Structure 1
Amino acid sequence: MTYLEAVALLHDIESKYDVMNVKYKGVSVWSFLRLRLLDCVSVNTEIKISRSIVKTVFKSLFYGSPFLLWGKYDLWSITNAERRKMVGNKMIHRISGAIEHLPYTSLMIEKPSRCIGHAPKRAIEETHIFSESWILLLSQFFMHLSLVKKKDVQGCELMDKILEEYNLKFDYMHYICHLDAQRRSMNFILAISKKPNVVLFECPYDSMGYQWAFYQHGIKVVELQHGVLNRNHDAYNAKDYEPILNPDAICVFGIEEYNYFKEEAPRYAKDVYMTGLYMLEKADQYFEKDIFVEKRKKYSHIVVASGQAGYEEQLSDFINKVATKHTEALFVYIPRHNDVKLKFTCDNIQVVVDVNIYKFLKWADLHITISSTTCLEAHYFHKPTLFYNYENRASTYYKSVLKTKNGVDYIDSVDSFDEAYLRLLNEHFEYKEIFVHNNIENLTNVINNNIMD
């Protein structure tokens, strides 16, 4: 089952059944279960705990002092090491990088990258940083205690009926235990630390148990948009939401997402703010010189392809085929993760890893992706995007936002490439203001006017 088919299945279930009545400790756990169910039935297979992940977690325990928890901070920031990008000699958080420059004291709680753990301390700006590895280990400890029993969960009969009707295999009790373990582990952290006034949280839907604990302690949660966000994203398109497991407010890139939450998903968060994207502003200021000067002596055009987890094979095969014909262009392929195995047969394809993709997007002539949000960032730099519309992902996600007049094309096959390629390289387009500007100032205002009072 494809991702979009799985999303449609969730909507069908929610239209037929009162799924919000599946509760544990009086809290509807469907908001968490629906995401894990989608992982189980779609092509986006859930990442299992492996020996390498366990090794990374243990290796990262003492990245930053655990004793920093005892400090008093205005803000906690919860993010992921994978979202750091190199700017000069520093690894900057593409979303949360602004927090270090806000007029508040802050502690960053960072999940280690599955590849490298954390960036070297000399390469980061943050001075107060705590590895999430401790909380991840606590969660596993509480998971193994099996503290949640089926008799404690309201609505098990309903879940069993749904799974039987749709012929699905899904261990929902395992995931309720997972949610509860997250809650218990964060409650433990809050019990031994000084509580912040607010938590700024990237991708909070993966850690709803943390949000539950913050709610129990009266701490507000503000989500920072980290990627694609629309009516087809499973975390933002539910029929209803459990407030205790969702943020109090969300900060979005710009007007498109703002309108979505105000008009189509008003129950997701009480408050919505437009704050922009920190890394785009940082990159635009810093990357002033064309990085492809030498390459342009050999190639007429520079095409940057943005890979995606779960779709590298499909996109790399597409790039291999079009590059064979268009030898006048250099195709720079940037995979989502640097450990992916790719096979290319053309000399005019270059694979680069561990780079700041925004530097490449700023100086490319054309951008290609399946449905990565890099299309929005390329748009910010006024660079056209050609979507390989695999499984209709791109058209479903973006066609209501990005039209052909805005410098995009949606194609389904290699045969359609030539016409779209020539049009995008030679025409002039109307680029939209998708991202608001002044990210640091906007975030400061959000906290000043709405959080710290």
Structure 2
Amino acid sequence: MDLLEINALLQDIETNQELLRMKIGLWSAWPILRFNLAALASNLAIDTSEIRLSTIEHISHSFHDAAGFLRVKHPHILLYVASSNRVEQKKDRYKDIIFDELLRYIPTYFKIENINNKFYLERSQRALYPSQMTTSGIYMISNLLSRLRRPRSIDRLADSFFASIQMVMPTSKISRLHIRKVLTSFYWRKILYRGLLHRVKPRILFLQTAYMNHALVAAAKEMNIKVVEFQHGIIDRHHPGYSWTSPAVVYKNHMPLPDLIYVYGDYWQDELSVNGFWNKELRSVGSLHLDQFRLQHVSLTSNNSISSNNPRKIVVTTQALDVDRLISFFIEFNKYATLPVELFIKLHPRESNRQPYDTAFRDHANIHIIAGHEAPSTFELLSSCDYHASIHSTCHYEALGLGKPTIILPFTNHERILPLCEQARGYALLVRTPAEMNQIIAQNRSVPHNISTYYFRDGAVDNILKELHHELGGVIDIRNPVDPQ
């Protein structure tokens, strides 16, 4: 089954079997499992063993965490950030592309960093706005406590959920043990996060991917801290982290979900509201990161002039999926190219093994392999390309937002992105063969402004600050931003 089929199946069983009524403490337990189970069932999980910290490295960071915990001074905002978001360089510092632009307007903040890729650690040490803590200590302690003890109620919940899943997916690899592990981890991490939040006392929590951070969300809501999620990736009506339907509304107050979701544009707001669950939580604000590249590099009102004398510059963003098929596709594409092309293959941030690409393309001087943590960044590449290509990625939408046409490659899970071909007809294009792709790139295409801004609204800083002004009042000074020292 693909992800769309799995999502529909989960929607059916949670409604028919009333899975949302089962609780762990104050909270409905099913949301804690839902995305995790969908990722396992679809076999889309990426092996991150090579980019994770070792136990010794976690211990080392835990000592730093203790110092940050003791020095905290009751900030206005707590930010849960990811190391891999520091992808842009500003002089000798690295900028978190999701949140840092806002911190110029917010006097006090506290960052807790999830080190999701150890290859970004050097950037964390040279951060424009440094983190005061990492999640290493919390994760290590919660993992230890999970091994030592769990409430008996978790065993009963795990048995019930396992039985429900087995009824509809009897061949699934999802185990009773895995369900217990996920629920026990939530139980202990929520307790630890409550302790952290009691010490920090923020008014607002900013984070991404709330559907993977239920313990932090639940702890914040128990302490009346407003939870604001910033969009990350493709979040649509079929995404298992968001695809709640109208029957779930009666359980909403007991689900560990954000109070507000800041989405990139009206398209995403329309998508998430379709199922009848999300409503007043959605805010169309834009993207801080994309806005900067619109201002710096892109004129959406002018046509791209592709000279016949210059090679077509194509940026391919990978998904760590179907690597062999993707390589074969571009070897053939390059072999039979009818025009000069220059190909930049930018690896997914969690794709650590570049060896297959280096080996396959070593004799192709016009094909460049760039690791996720290496410069230039994805947006630097997109803002100066003629075409973008990927399998299923937020980069399809980001390319359109930057005025660039995007190509959908016919590999695993590409079906998820196919509606874009109809929505942005002529600017989002499915190719089935390398020959088709060669035909497409021969044409000059410029994405209209109204399409770009449908996916990514203009003016993200102003839009977000207006939203925050309601929560923080005079704390925010829009007229006098302060740059970091």
Alignment TM-score > 0.5, same fold: yes
1:200 maps to which residue?
Answer: 206
Question: Within 1, Cα distance between the matches of 2:168 and 2:269?
Answer: 37
Q: Residue 51 and residue 106 in structure 1: after superposition, are their counterparts in 2 closer, same or farther (change >3 A)?
A: closer
Contact 1:143 1:178 in 2 (8 A): yes
SS of residue paired to 2:244? coil
Question: Within 2, Cα distance between the matches of 1:82 and 1:401?
Answer: 32
Shift of 1:199: 0.3
Give, as a single letter, the amino acid of the residue that structure 2 aligns with 1:336: H
Shift of 1:385: 0.7
Q: Are positions 1:348 and 2:360 aligned together?
A: no
1:60 maps to which residue?
Answer: 61
Shift of 1:279: 1.3
SS of residue paired to 2:6? helix
1:372 maps to which residue?
Answer: 393
**Larger deviation: 67-76 or 246-255?**
67-76
Q: Residue 383 and residue 439 in structure 1: after superposition, are their counterparts in 2 closer, same or farther (change >3 A)?
A: same
Contact 2:408 2:414 in 1 (8 A): no
Give the counterpart of 1:430 among 434, 439, 448. Answer: 448
1:293 maps to which residue?
Answer: none
**Larger deviation: 335-344 or 274-283?**
335-344
Give the counterpart of 1:173 among 168, 177, 180. Answer: 180
Q: Residue 189 and residue 412 in structure 1: after superposition, are their counterparts in 2 closer, same or farther (change >3 A)?
A: same
**Larger deviation: 276-285 or 54-63?**
54-63
Q: Residue 238 and residue 366 in structure 1: after superposition, are their counterparts in 2 closer, same or farther (change >3 A)?
A: same
Contact 1:197 1:219 in 2 (8 A): yes
Give the counterpart of 1:141 among 125, 144, 156. Answer: 144
1:209 maps to which residue?
Answer: 215
Question: Within 2, Cα distance between the matches of 1:190 and 1:283?
Answer: 35
Q: Residue 198 and residue 397 in structure 1: after superposition, are their counterparts in 2 closer, same or farther (change >3 A)?
A: farther
Q: Residue 392 and residue 152 in structure 1: after superposition, are their counterparts in 2 closer, same or farther (change >3 A)?
A: closer
Give the counterpart of 1:72 among 74, 78, 83. Answer: 74
Give the counterpart of 1:184 among 180, 185, 191. Answer: 191
Question: Within 2, Cα distance between the matches of 1:269 and 1:184?
Answer: 30
What 5-or-longer segments of structure 1 have no aligned partner? 289-295
Contact 1:367 1:375 in 2 (8 A): yes
Question: Within 1, Cα distance between the matches of 2:383 and 2:283?
Answer: 26
SS of residue paired to 2:348? coil
Give, as a single letter, the amino acid of the residue that structure 2 aligns with 1:339: S
Question: Within 2, Cα distance between the matches of 1:305 and 1:400?
Answer: 18
Deviations 1:171-203 (A, max 9, x none): 222221122122122122224x13100101111
Q: Are positions 1:332 and 2:344 aligned together?
A: yes
Give the counterpart of 1:283 among 289, 293, 306. Answer: 293
Shift of 1:154: 5.2
Contact 1:236 1:265 in 2 (8 A): no
Question: Within 1, Cα distance between the matches of 2:457 and 2:51?
Answer: 42
Map 1:13-412 to 2 at 5 A.
13-45=13-45, 52-55=52-55, 56-61=57-62, 65-67=67-69, 70-89=72-91, 90-116=93-119, 118-120=121-123, 123-127=126-130, 129-150=132-153, 153=156, 156-157=159-160, 159-167=162-170, 168=172, 169-171=174-176, 172-191=179-198, 193-239=199-245, 240=248, 242-243=252-253, 244-261=255-272, 263-268=273-278, 270-286=280-296, 300-326=311-337, 328-337=340-349, 339-341=352-354, 342-343=356-357, 344-345=360-361, 346-353=364-371, 354-355=374-375, 356-391=377-412, 393=414, 396=417, 398-399=419-420, 402-405=423-426, 407-412=427-432
Q: CA RMSD in A?
A: 3.0
Deviations 1:265-285 (A, max 9, x none): 453474222221111223344
Percent of paired sites with the same residue: 17
Q: Residue 16 and residue 81 in structure 1: after superposition, are their counterparts in 2 closer, same or farther (change >3 A)?
A: same
1:413 maps to which residue?
Answer: 433
Q: Residue 378 and residue 157 in structure 1: after superposition, are their counterparts in 2 closer, same or farther (change >3 A)?
A: closer
**Size of the alignment, in residue pairs?**
442
Shift of 1:452: 5.7
Q: Residue 212 and residue 137 in structure 1: after superposition, are their counterparts in 2 closer, same or farther (change >3 A)?
A: same
Give, as a single letter, the amino acid of the residue that structure 1 aligns with 2:264: F
SS of residue paired to 1:250? strand
Moved over 6 A (4+): 48-51
SS of residue paired to 2:121? coil
Question: Within 2, Cα distance between the matches of 1:127 and 1:283?
Answer: 23
SS of residue paired to 1:404? coil
Give, as a single letter, the amino acid of the residue that structure 1 aligns with 2:429: D
Question: Within 1, Cα distance between the matches of 2:113 and 2:195?
Answer: 17
SS of residue paired to 1:363? coil
Question: Within 1, Cα distance between the matches of 2:445 and 2:278?
Answer: 40
Question: Within 2, Cα distance between the matches of 1:401 and 1:87?
Answer: 36
Question: Within 1, Cα distance between the matches of 2:182 and 2:380?
Answer: 39
Q: Residue 109 and residue 35 in structure 1: after superposition, are their counterparts in 2 closer, same or farther (change >3 A)?
A: same
**Larger deviation: 24-33 or 411-420?**
411-420
Q: Residue 24 and residue 452 in structure 1: after superposition, are their counterparts in 2 closer, same or farther (change >3 A)?
A: farther
SS of residue paired to 1:125? coil
Q: Residue 320 and residue 59 in structure 1: after superposition, are their counterparts in 2 closer, same or farther (change >3 A)?
A: farther
Contact 2:263 2:284 in 1 (8 A): yes
What 5-or-longer segments of structure 2 have no aligned partner? 299-306, 475-485
Question: Within 2, Cα distance between the matches of 1:218 and 1:11?
Answer: 29
**Larger deviation: 434-443 or 162-171?**
162-171
Question: Within 2, Cα distance between the matches of 1:232 and 1:151?
Answer: 28
Shift of 1:309: 3.3
1:292 maps to which residue?
Answer: none
